[in-house]
Chain A
Amino acid sequence: MANSSMPIERLQALDNVEKEIASCIQSAGQALTELSKDKASMKQVESHTSQFLKTLNHVEGELSKHINYLTQVSTGQPHEGSAYGSVKMYKTARHRLEHTCSRLQDLENLKNRALASTVRPASAQNNP
């Protein structure tokens, strides 16, 4: 079994197994519903039954495969790895960016105040 498959793929495979279990029971129900009819079509019954058996076989095979994989890779120890270091570095970079934004905003405000103060005396001169 490939050890380099992404974790999400294994979880998606287990999601598919869940859907197959539901479809397996549905096939069993359809086979029995067909058998309960007055004029049952044996071809339909056999087709639903073989579908039920095939799906059940596949479910058992898939789950056995996953259990065997887990038997091989699990160590019994808790996993102590984390991405904390790189997350912290990213957050400090964000802080640097936000600090820069705030200083530039202060500069912008200073510029606007200076512009406003030069415009007001000019308009006062034009309108005595």
Chain B
Amino acid sequence: MAQRALPQSKEALLKSYNKRLKDDVKSLLDNFSEIIKLARVEEETQVSRMTQCEEDHFEMLVRASNIVRAGESLMKLVTDLKQYLILNDFPSANEAISQTARSMLAMQQESDRKLMALRDDLAADLYDLEEEYYSSPFK
């Protein structure tokens, strides 16, 4: 399909979606790998082991929060994509409208067909009723 020139706002919006996706996936990967790296117990240097443990613990908490935040940001991106899809996916919107129009037309034709059959039955019964009425003393 040939690429049409999108309005700048839509193009910028789609680019921002791509950027958000890349950033969130990178954040998930980086934070996870950094937590794994922190699991290595190193030799005691200038900082005492207890202090180092506290620091590592705090860093792990922050990185775990970052992972959760990146995951929630990805969920928000999926929600935004769903909204954009519903509003701007023209082939699907056209298909949905055509399907609705076809089903409405089919129901309308079925209803009218049954009404015409009812009319024909009533016309036949009316013929007999008129015969009866006009040959009775009540006319």
Q: Which residues of chain A have a CB within 8 Å of any CB of chain B? A: 3-7, 10-11, 14, 17-18, 21-22, 24-25, 28, 32, 35, 49, 52-53, 56, 59-60, 63-64, 66-67, 70-76, 78-79, 81-83, 85-87, 89-90, 92-94, 96-97, 100
Once A21-B78, A83-B101 are accepted as A-B contacts, the answer to whether A70 and B96 lie under 8 Å apart by CB is: no
| Distance in angstroms between the alpha carbons of A71 and B85 in the assembled complex | 11
**Residues of chain B within 8 A of A56, CB atoms compared:** 25, 28-29
- The secondary-structure label for the interface of chain B is helix
A83 touching B89, Cβ below 8 Å: no
B14 touches A94 (CB 8 A): no
Partner of A7, one of B21, B67, B96, B101: B96
Q: Which of A11, A22, A79, A89 contacts B104 (CB 8 A)?
A: A89
Complex formed: what's the CA distance from A66 to B112 in Å? 43
Contact B21 A60 (CB under 8 A): yes
For the complex formed, measure the closest distance between the CB of B38 and the CB atoms of chain A, giving whole angstroms.
10
A64 to B17, CA, bound (A): 9
Can you sample 30 A-B contacts with CB below 8 Å? A6-B92, A6-B95, A7-B95, A10-B85, A10-B89, A14-B78, A14-B81, A14-B85, A24-B28, A25-B71, A35-B39, A63-B21, A63-B81, A66-B81, A67-B14, A67-B18, A71-B3, A71-B6, A72-B3, A73-B1, A74-B6, A76-B6, A81-B94, A85-B101, A86-B105, A87-B104, A89-B104, A90-B104, A93-B112, A96-B115
**Number of A-B contacts defined by CB within 8 Å:** 146
B-side interface residues, number (CB < 8 Å):
53
Nearest-neighbour CB distance to chain B for A51, whole angstroms, equals 12
Q: Are A63 and B77 in contact (CB under 8 A)?
A: yes
Chain B residues near A (Cβ < 8 Å): 1, 3-4, 6-7, 9-10, 14, 17-18, 21, 25, 28-29, 32, 35-36, 39, 64, 67-68, 71, 74-75, 77-78, 81-82, 84-97, 100-102, 104-105, 107-108, 111-112, 115, 118
Do A81 and B107 form a contact, CB below 8 Å, given A4-B91, A75-B4?
Answer: no
Q: Is the CB of B96 within 8 A of A100?
A: no
Shortest distance in angstroms between B123's beta carbon and chain A's nearest beta carbon? 13
Nearest B residue (CB) for A11 = B82
In the bound complex, CA of A27 to CA of B117 (Å)? 64
Q: Is the CB of B95 within 8 A of A64?
A: no
